[in-house]
Chains A and B, each alone.
Chain A
Amino acid sequence: MTWFLVHFAQVVFYCLAACAVAGAVGVIAFRSPVHAALSLLATFLAVAGLFVLMEAEFLAAVQILVYAGGVMVLFLFVIMLVNARTIPQEPQYLGRLAPAAVGLGALLAVLVGVGLWAAAHGNPGDASSLRQVQGVPLGNTEAVGWSLYRDYLLPFEVVSIVLLVAMIGAIVMGRKETGKEGGA
């Protein structure tokens, strides 16, 4: 029991990491896009938990709201709209790239092994400065908001323009083609 309390952060990290990796494997392995999307949802939620573990609470909330709430609903909506059953089933995997994928996986395993062996000497850093606003300890959300609206105001505005352009682009591509010149 004491071992569990001492190593609580490790236990949580490895559980969440296992969920994230299993979800990512599911995205690749499942044939049905719906199953792949739900598997991706598991990854998103696990990553949100990891953000909490890294004491980035604001990002965890944004991850759940935007990814699990918005992007995932969009994916499922399009899968339903496209209706995979009416589309003739083709081979879902590209065979000739499989050796490259296996080689990449082996390289990945070696890298992760070396990295985890070297991780014993690492240092996670101190999160206390990530929740201070001008030296006053408030909270992670306040600190991110302060940084976002004071130091990064111009990138913030540019990103809003990017979102506007993306929205217009999605509408233009999604609408039915009318007239002779085509939809776009």
Chain B
Amino acid sequence: MITTTHYLMLSLVLFTLGVIGMAVRRNFITVLMCVELILNATNINLVAFSRQLGDLTGQVFAVFVITIAAAEAAIGLGIIIALVRLKQTTNLDQVNVMEG
């Protein structure tokens, strides 16, 4: 029997892999992909709880999360293009103007 906990565990794995990727990788494009991983983990959680509670709100919120993820990807990739035009790099270590 596959229970809600199984889905939560999978979501936990995907979320943690996303966070590890954001911490370890230095390529801006890969970091954005890790954000998508995290949002996917959130969606699995929302749908699993929606099923557990018999309430559609979780699925409706998952639709909203997908929408925001698409907006975030568009903005992030726009930033990447502007960054490449400005500094000819996608490496986050080279983008330290605001580091102080």
Contact = CB atoms under 8 A, between A and B. Distances in A.
Interface string A141-184: 00110011001100100010011011101111110110000010
Contacts, number: 250
Contacts of A94: 23-26, 93
Contacts of A1: none
Interface string A17-40: 100110011011000010011001
Nearest to B37: A24
Contact of A27 (B2, B4, B33): B33
Interface residues of B, number: 73
Contact of A81 (B9, B43, B57, B81): B81
Main secondary structure of the interface of B (DSSP, over half): helix
A152 B96 CA distance: 41
Nearest to A164: B71
A40 B33 contact: yes
A119 interface: yes
A44 B40 contact: yes
Nearest to B81: A174
B60 A148 contact: yes
B23 A33 contact: no
B17 A21 contact: yes
Contacts of B36: 40, 67, 71
B80 A67 contact: no
A138 interface: no
A10 to B, nearest CB: 6
Given A143-B56, A162-B68, A50 B75 contact: no
B71 to A, nearest CB: 4
Contacts of A13: 2, 6
A135 interface: no
A28 B60 contact: no
A70 B20 CA distance: 25
A56 B25 contact: no
Contacts of A50: 7, 10, 44
Interface in B26-44: 26-27, 29-30, 32-34, 36-37, 40, 43-44
A152 B72 CA distance: 21
A112 B77 contact: no
Contacts of A87: 84, 88-90
B51 A56 contact: yes
A148 B63 contact: yes
A170 B56 contact: no
10 contacts: A66-B69, A81-B81, A90-B89, A90-B91, A116-B9, A122-B1, A124-B1, A155-B64, A162-B71, A166-B74
